[in-house]
């Protein structure tokens, strides 16, 4: 039976993985016959809390998705007004996207008000409950938000466990992050490398996404300082905007003389170019220091990229070791050993073949079913 559904979270004209996810979720719900609208932010982050160059996309507006730009994350009067509008509208389901405690007051207030209509179910896709980068307001803001919801879907077992610190009675389900399918088809590797000006027969690894301390690029750079990697001619593509001080990473690069081993594209990568970078890479590397799950993993699955991830949060749940790639500790030598094993033992074809089967468990249909389940629909 068709349902009326509102997704509340980042979407166009905002950019980034959360916006892409929400827009793809809306599309998949519409394909099932549901009526869907996204309510996104007129102000998502005050500039003081945003470390990047811009919060806004340069890509075209997505087609066939209704997007309402109306939520101000720091204006309580806006929360009350919007909450009452949605309460009166009486959608069957509201889906919040929760990824950081700063959003707890605005989203929590919406949830408290909407549920007063005694009809709408309010459920949350929780990327994180306890954030990577901690602040003094994390616990009270998250508690306020959690209490405003009817149910939760987490995308890693670790977040599910974190959620129990705030509520152990409401319906909750685990479903892994679905695979991204919206960045265009996989390109021939030679063609992708030609577009990026790379050597057709070179050895290229990819570090992709916003560069923040918890993502461990510093660890990966130090692994690349291993003489064995340098002698093997392996290169690292760093594709993403710095959300930290680039000087810290540049110091490591200069200390170890890594300039010639790196291909740096240190701007936000627009959606139209994502397929080129993943299609050009032999393997995607995520040497995170902390994590719950990662959308980068799900882009890699779509483009049949083997992966190297560190054993933090839920990453190991997504990347079976020695089947579709490697799970290592954050030890520099262990990471370097895995990279060398990949090339010396020609593991790419084996991993790619296994990815074809493993990727089948990351479906949007499963995610939607879990959202309806925890919402009691």
Sign of the alpha-carbon dihedral angle for 273, 278, 282, 287: positive
Q: What is the mean pLDDT of residues 173-181?
A: 92
**Residue % of the chain over a pLDDT of 90:** 75
Percent of the chain past pLDDT 70, that is, above it, reads 96
Task: Report the C-alpha gap between 365 and 361 in whole angstroms.
Answer: 10
Alpha carbon distance 17, 14 (integer Å): 10
pLDDT at 254 over 70: yes
CB atoms within 10 A of CB 61: 10
Mean pLDDT of the chain: 92
Question: Distance between CA 83 and CA 208 in Å, rounded?
Answer: 37
> Does pLDDT of 163 surpass 70?
yes
pLDDT band of residue 17 (cuts 50, 70, 90) is confident
pLDDT classification of 307: cutoffs 50, 70, 90: very high
CA dihedral 205, 209, 214, 217 (to 10 degrees): 30
CATH architecture for the domain at 189-361: 3-Layer(aba) Sandwich (3.40)
Q: What is the structure's pLDDT at 311?
A: 93
Calpha distance 296→150 (Å, rounded)? 29
Instruction: Kindly state the average pLDDT of the residues 227-240.
Output: 95
Where does the chain have alpha helices with state H?
17-31, 76-89, 104-114, 138-146, 157-163, 189-196, 217-224, 227-231, 246-255, 271-280, 295-302, 315-318, 332-344, 348-358, 364-374
Q: What is the pLDDT of residue 236?
A: 96
Structure tokens at 36: 């869907």
In this model, does residue 47 exceed pLDDT 80? no
pTM of the model: 0.86
Separation between Cα atoms, residue 219 and residue 24, nearest integer Å: 32
What is the predicted pLDDT for the residue at 259?
Answer: 92
Q: Diameter of the chain by CA atoms?
A: 66
- How far apart CA 164 and CA 39 sit, in angstroms, is 28
pLDDT for res 133? 65
Confidence of residue 212 (pLDDT cuts 50, 70, 90): confident
Residue 1's pLDDT is 84
pLDDT at site 314:
80
CATH 3.40.50.11930 fits 4-178+362-374, yes or no: yes
Cα distance between residue 183 and residue 276, in whole Å: 9
Q: How far apart are CA 332 and CA 99, in angstroms?
A: 29
| Per-domain residue ranges of the chain | 4-178+362-374, 189-361
Tens-digit pLDDT profile for residues 60-89: 888 899 999 999 999 999 999 999 999 999
Number of Cβ within a 10 Å radius of residue 376 = 11
For the record, the structure tokens of 203 come out as 């050895």
If you search the block for the tokens 């094993």, which residue do you land on?
Answer: 341
Is the fold of 4-178+362-374 the same as that of 189-361? yes
pLDDT tens profile 112-162: 999 999 999 999 999 988 876 677 788 999 999 999 999 999 998 888 988
Q: What is the pLDDT of residue 55?
A: 67
Cα angle, residue 41 at apex, residues 160 and 92 outer, rounded to 5°: 60
In terms of average pLDDT, the best of 166-170, 180-184, 212-216, 333-337 is 333-337
Helix/strand/coil for 191: helix
């Amino acid at each position: 039976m068709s349902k009326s559904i509102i997704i509340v979270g980042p979407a166009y004209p905002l950019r980034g993985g959360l916006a892409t996810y929400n827009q793809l979720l809306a599309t998949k719900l519409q394909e099932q016959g549901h009526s869907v609208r996204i309510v996104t932010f007129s102000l998502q982050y005050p500039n003081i809390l945003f470390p990047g160059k811009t919060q806004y996309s340069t890509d075209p507006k997505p087609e066939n998705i209704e997007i309402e730009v109306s939520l101000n994350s720091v204006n309580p009067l806006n929360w009350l007004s919007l909450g009452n509008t949605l309460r009166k509208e009486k959608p069957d389901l509201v889906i919040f996207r929760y990824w950081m405690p700063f959003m707890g007051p605005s989203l929590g207030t919406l949830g408290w008000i909407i549920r007063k209509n005694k009809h709408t179910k309010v459920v949350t896709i929780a990327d994180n409950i306890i954030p990577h980068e901690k602040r003094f307001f994390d616990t009270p803001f998250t508690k306020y938000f959690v209490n405003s919801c009817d149910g939760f879907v987490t995308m890693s077992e670790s977040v599910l466990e974190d959620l129990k610190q705030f509520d152990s009675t409401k319906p909750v389900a685990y479903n892994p992050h679905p695979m991204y399918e919206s960045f265009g088809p996989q390109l021939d590797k030679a063609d992708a490398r030609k577009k990026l000006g790379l050597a057709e027969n070179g050895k290229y690894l990819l570090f992709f996404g916003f560069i923040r301390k918890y993502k461990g690029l510093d660890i990966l750079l130090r692994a690349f300082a291993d003489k064995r990697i340098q002698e093997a001619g392996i290169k690292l593509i760093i594709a993403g905007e710095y959300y930290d001080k680039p000087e810290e990473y540049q110091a490591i690069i200069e200390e170890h003389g890594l300039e010639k081993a790196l291909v740096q594209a240190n701007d936000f990568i627009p959606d139209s170019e994502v397929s080129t970078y993943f299609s050009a890479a032999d393997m995607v590397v995520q040497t995170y220091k902390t994590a719950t799950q990662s959308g980068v993993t799900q882009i890699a699955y779509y483009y049949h990229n083997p992966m190297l991830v560190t054993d933090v949060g839920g990453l190991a749940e997504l990347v079976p070791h020695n089947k579709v790639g490697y799970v290592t500790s954050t030890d520099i030598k262990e990471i370097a050993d895995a990279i060398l094993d990949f090339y010396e033992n020609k593991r790419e074809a084996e991993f790619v073949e296994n990815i074809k089967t493993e990727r089948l468990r990351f479906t949007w249909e499963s995610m939607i079913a879990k959202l309806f389940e925890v919402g009691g629909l």
